[in-house]
Structures are given as C-alpha cells and as structure tokens.
A and B are shown apart, each in its own frame.
Chain A
Amino acid sequence: NAGVTQTPKFRVLKTGQSMTLLCAQDMNHEYMYWYRQDPGMGLRLIHYSVGEGTTAKGEVPDGYNVSRLKKQNFLLGLESAAPSQTSVYFCASSYGLDRFRAVEYFGPGTRLTVT
C-alpha cells in the first residue's frame, strides 16, 4: 500500500516549457487535490476532483490544467511555465471531507523550479 505517490520529485523547467505532474493513489479515494506550497503562504488549492472524469477549480487555478481519466490518477499540467509557478506541489486524496472523519492524505511533493 503505497498511499499517495507523485512523479517526478524534482524538475527544472525553462520559461514557456510545458510539463505534467502525475499523482497516483491506491486507497480507492474518490477525491483528489492539487496544492502548491510557497514560503510563508501555507498551502493553496489549485484544482480538485470529486471523481473520475470530473475536475473543479480551487483558489489558484490560473495557468494550470488537470485531468482525472482514471480514479487512481490525477494529472496537473503546466502548458507554458512561468517563474511564478516555481513552488512545491502536493497532491492529496480523501474519501471526501464531507464524510465523517475524512482526512486528506498527502503525497511526498514535487519541487518545481522555473527559470
């Protein structure tokens, strides 16, 4: 049981390049989330999904796209990377926070630098 895994762990991009971050979970969770963490800012929700084939915007969605083609995977895409997207990206999954005692489980993070 690996929990939540993220690929890659580190990446350096040049401005304008594109990339996809992959999140996978093996807990059969319905809900998956992408957050970014910046120094002194806490974590901010980018996009989330409440089930296969669904996605929704969070607090800071601009410049990112997501897809949830399979229940266990949630992809975060950057079409044209900008230095402002330099951050640590965390994926999380849960049964849904509206469920009693539901908790979000976080992946190990992806450290992205855009130069």
Chain B
Amino acid sequence: ELKVEQNPLFLSMQEGKNYTIYCNYSTTSDRLYWYRQDPGKSLESLFVLLSNGAVKQEGRLMASLDTKARLSTLHITAAVHDLSATYFCAVPFMYSGGGADGLTFGKGTHLIIQP
C-alpha cells in the first residue's frame, strides 16, 4: 500500500515570505505530480516531476523530486495572495488487476497567504 504524506496540512503565511511544503511517499516511484485546488473548484495540474533530481519552476513556485529519499518539495518564493489554495502532491500507484496506474494523493496543504 502506498502512503503519501504532506506537511504541513495547514499553513498561514504573510505576503513576501518564503516557505516549503513537503511530500513524502512510502514506495518507490520515479514520478510525482503537484496539483492546485481553489475552494469549490477542480484540480489544476502544476508540475509533473519525472526523474530523480527533477526541478520545475513556474513563477513563484518551484518543485523538486528526490526519488532516493522519496521526497518532493514545493517551494514558494515571496508569496502573494493569489497563491492561496490547497496544494496536493500525488504519486502513481498500480492497483491490482487494472494494468495501469492511478494516483494516490496526499491529504493536501491548505495555504493561506495574508497581506
């Protein structure tokens, strides 16, 4: 069974500050996904990390993957209010009998950025 753990689960921070969200997973995987969800909305893909050492950046967000440590980080630089959302990491998992992967999600990090 794959377990995906995020921390923190809740984060309140001020604009202009930096912070990191952590995602640990329990079984071997060379891929990891980050999604964003705004309140009452669907999930939007942010990053796909496809190999050990992968680093992706989009604006004030940067994600990295260390497959040996089974750890991914999502770093927020100089936070702005528009980044307030819930962020999920997800790891592919082969459910038996299906012949393909589905995603196992962390519980999400609810991020509030205050002026």
Binding site for B on A (CB under 8 A): 31, 33, 35, 40-45, 48, 50, 56-59, 90, 92, 96-98, 100-101, 103-109
Contacts and interface: CB of A to CB of B under 8 A. Distances in A.
Interface in B33-60: 33, 35, 41-45, 48, 50
Nearest to B100: A50
Contacts of A100: 50
Given A33-B102, A56-B98, A98-B100, 12 more contacts: A42-B4, A42-B108, A43-B43, A56-B99, A57-B95, A58-B102, A92-B43, A96-B100, A97-B101, A100-B50, A103-B48, A108-B41
A48 B42 contact: no
B25 interface: no
A115 B100 CA distance: 35
Contacts of A59: 95, 102, 104
Contact of A106 (B4, B43, B97, B100): B43
Interface residues of B, number: 28
Contacts of B107: 40-42
A48 B100 contact: yes
Given A42-B108, A50-B98, A56-B97, A104 B42 contact: no
Interface of B: 4, 9, 31, 33, 35, 41-45, 48, 50, 88, 90, 92, 95, 97-108
B105 A107 contact: no
Nearest to A100: B50
Contacts of B98: 48, 50, 56-58
12 contacts: A31-B100, A42-B105, A43-B88, A45-B104, A50-B98, A57-B95, A92-B43, A96-B100, A103-B45, A104-B103, A105-B45, A109-B41
Contacts of A45: 95, 102-104
Given A58-B102, A98-B100, A104 B45 contact: yes
Contact of B92 (A97, A106, A107): A97
Given A57-B95, A103-B33, A42 B100 contact: no
Contacts of A41: 107
